[in-house]
Chain A
Amino acid sequence: MKVVRINDNVSLRYIEMDKLKTTSVSVFIHRPLTDADASYNALLPMVLKSGTELCPDRAAIAKYLDNLYGASMGVATMKCGEDQVMYFDAETISDKYAPEGEPLVADLLRLLMSVLFAPKAAGGAFDEKTTEIEKKNAINKILAFINDKRQYASTRCQQETARGTAFAINRLGDEKRINEITAARLYEYYRSIITSSVIDIYICGSTDIDQAAAAVREYTDKLEFTAAQLPKTDILSRPDGDIHQVKEEMDVAQGKLAMGFITNTRPTDPDYDALVVFNSVFGAGAHSKLFNNVREKLSLAYYAASQLERFKGMIVVNAGIEFENFQKAYDETLVQLEEIRKGNISEHEFTSSKIAIINNYKSFYDDQRAMASTNMMNRVAGNERTVEEMTAAIEKVTVEDVVAVSKKLQLDTSYFLKGKEAE
């Protein structure tokens, strides 16, 4: 990876990968996750990609991309702990496959820079109509949260486990605040953050990095930047008291159980990699204890899995079950955790877990977006490592390490999404 510092805030990273037939450009803008700004950060990328000085409206942008043999550009707002990240993702087939020798990557980068640094605006405001349309879309996205019940239950459990912290704030913002945003206020916000946030640009594939850096500077040289830092997240610690119990009802055919555990382990801690292996043994894959017991042995669920949220230090278990099987699945999850704590981890479970993690890490080498986002997330976690280093760290983990880290886990939240008729 080659790093070019454009200025204090903006950096360009180039990961050469010409075995793929495409080149991708990803941009991440980092902002602290706060109640006041979350809605702005959710809406802003959607407005930015609707019109620029280069392509004045959505139709023009779509045609521009089609002309690059169907290049793609998308935006999203995600969160890495309490770092709310505006994400711009674009991809084109690499220049070497351009039938007429067109400079596809340079053209795509120009569009993306224009989206970021030269959006369409007039009189100190974004386009009124565009802003209103995108506000509606942003609100629809917030409301659409309930549509995917598995995701819903798991995210709700995360929020409940992190109750009272910034992590519980919805990365998509909230309806009321979005409604209050105007085209002028959003533009003002944009002007204030574009020069005062860490901005990472990744190009992955094949390009001339010096030319790319020059193309970025063409836009950034016109602006004045004030130095910014990556937002940091601290892990949860368990408050005294009983398990936090949450029950919700919806018109659903299947119940969703979720259990939020606090890991007491930072992504920078020496036992973090043991936690990753623990999570795999516990519930990440067909070799795991949850899969083999909750699903295969007891036939309670089609899926039963655990998921690590490293930034905030939590693991959420989730399973889709018959309403009346809540207690059975809940108890079995705790039984399996206890098994790990007692050191009852088979050779097979242990090596399969490590191999599965390493296999996954190595697959990043064939995936441009994964290479970019892995580097970005490691940096946010304060633990920048190469995929080789990540792999080596997993290889070093022992069964004892896993047992030790499992003992640090504390159950915090029990969440159940059940049907309206059921009781």
Chain B
Amino acid sequence: MELRIRKSEKTGETLYCGKHSSGLRIFIVPKPEYSGSYAIFGTDYGSVESDFIVPGETEVTHVPDGIAHYLEHKMFDQPDGSNVFDKFSKYGGSANAFTSFNITAYLFSATANFEENLATLLDYVQSPYYTDETVQKEQGIIGQEIRMYDDTPGWQLFFNFINCLYNSHPVKKEIAGTVESIAKITPEYLYKCYTTFYNLSNMALVIVGNVDVDSAVKVIEDGIKNNEPFTEPIGRVHPDEAAEIAERYHERKMAVSAPMFMLGWKDNDVPKSGSELLKKNLEITILLRMLFGRGSDIYQKLYNEGLINNTFDTDYTMQKDYAFTTIDGESPDPERVYDTILDEVDKVAKNGLSETDFELAKKVMWGKYIRSHNDIETYASTMLQLQFMDIDYFNFYDVYKTVTFDDVKARFKEHFRRDRSALSVIKPM
């Protein structure tokens, strides 16, 4: 397997990348001066895929909600009855896994025995083993995980917000499913999902840190099990999502100290290519900074009126087929925060954006990009997530430099529309 070497002058980073004959995409960023190393092995598969068409089949397969997450838990059981954590522990690897809307990933960090840990990672993620008994055992554990989220106000706030924005897109559903939906999960369903989404042509491996590229490649080549790459894409069946939002407002009471809010805008623009996606991401992130950053007029107004505090934050969530901005925080009066923000955005629409603010926000984006290479864990998982969207993170600068004030002005008009906005609130009991 030949890897291509790419060097970035601006960041001083070197990337080795390539594709194995199994279809697995590989990315290695050696950082010899680091003490730690990190590997993340992920599949382009998350909680949104409850209906899909296996390549070669014509019928839609329907599986219970929460199965991607359940499958992630069950990957840790091994055919010989051993537990994967034990193997990592032996080599000093600190292992973990996560499931999001669009990704399931298995990872470890280590400061020694990188090759042994990597071999363990490759081996267990390619060794599905599900029985009625082991599947049953997990009901209690995941049941408690779901309960924990039930009591996590920030999580509830977020899901209620997404449910305001979306009418039928499966991003509406809880990642872990519900106690009822996971009760329906069987070994057969798990195997079906596994053979579909864990085909190596649907997966990628990213390694960052103190690693020797040649020995890592050898471990990878030895560790990849037989796999016929799919020649056609997996059919991902998502219902058509209307452009309109589902609900303007959602309120819930929980045991919290102060009202919490999350507001934001639904983004219906679906660019075709990875670089267009990255560009859109930059435009929106720059706008969030210009409009609502700590130095902005809107932030200062809300802060000085006591309507928001330090918990105020903005974010942009973006995938290929859905995206939205969020603004969240605590406030004695969430409705007033929402109204003020929409009114202020209207004023900006009338009076125009400031080019000085644009330059400053763009500067901040550059600092963020440089900083993102520091932490090997964030670096690697960002690379993994972006490459499933066909975004080339190493090429950031080439896209970054093309973002103009005019682009941002156009994006502002397109995104911050009153009728695409919603507000979710958690109020104290």
Contact = CB atoms under 8 A, between A and B. Distances in A.
Classify chain B: how many residues form its interface, as a range: 35 or more
Contact of A254 (B11, B144, B256, B295): B144
A287 B257 CA distance: 36
A97 B372 CA distance: 13
Contacts of A287: 85-86, 89
Q: How large is the interface on A (under 10, 10 to 19, 20 to 34, 35 or more residues)?
A: 35 or more
A321 interface: yes
B35 A302 contact: no
B140 interface: yes
Nearest to B91: A355
Interface in B169-183: none
Given A287-B86, A355-B89, A140 B330 contact: yes
Contacts, number: 177
B392 interface: no
Nearest to A349: B89
A368 to B, nearest CB: 8
A21 B374 contact: yes
Interface in B64-108: 83, 85-86, 89-95
Interface of A: 19-22, 58-59, 61-63, 65-71, 91-93, 97, 99, 129, 133, 136-137, 140, 143-150, 250-254, 285-287, 292, 295-296, 299-303, 320-322, 348, 351-352, 355-356, 358-360, 362-363, 365-367
Contacts of A358: 92, 111
Nearest to A319: B144
Contacts of A295: 141
A45 to B, nearest CB: 11
A302 B145 CA distance: 5
Contacts of A140: 257-258, 309, 330
Contact of A366 (B36, B83, B89, B144): B36
Which of the listed residues A70, A71, A99 has the most CB atoms from chain B within 10 Å of its own CB? A70
B142 interface: yes
Interface of B: 11, 31, 33-36, 83, 85-86, 89-95, 109-112, 137-142, 144-145, 147-148, 150-153, 254-258, 289, 293-295, 299-300, 303-304, 306, 309-310, 330, 360-361, 363-368, 370-371, 373-376, 429
Contacts of B109: 359, 363
Contact of A70 (B94, B151, B368): B368
A407 B409 CA distance: 68
A348 B90 contact: yes
A70 B151 CA distance: 34
B137 A299 contact: yes
Given A287-B85, A299-B140, A251 B254 contact: yes
Contact of A66 (B31, B36, B295): B295
B94 A356 contact: yes
A149 B366 contact: no
A20 B139 contact: no
A108 B283 CA distance: 27
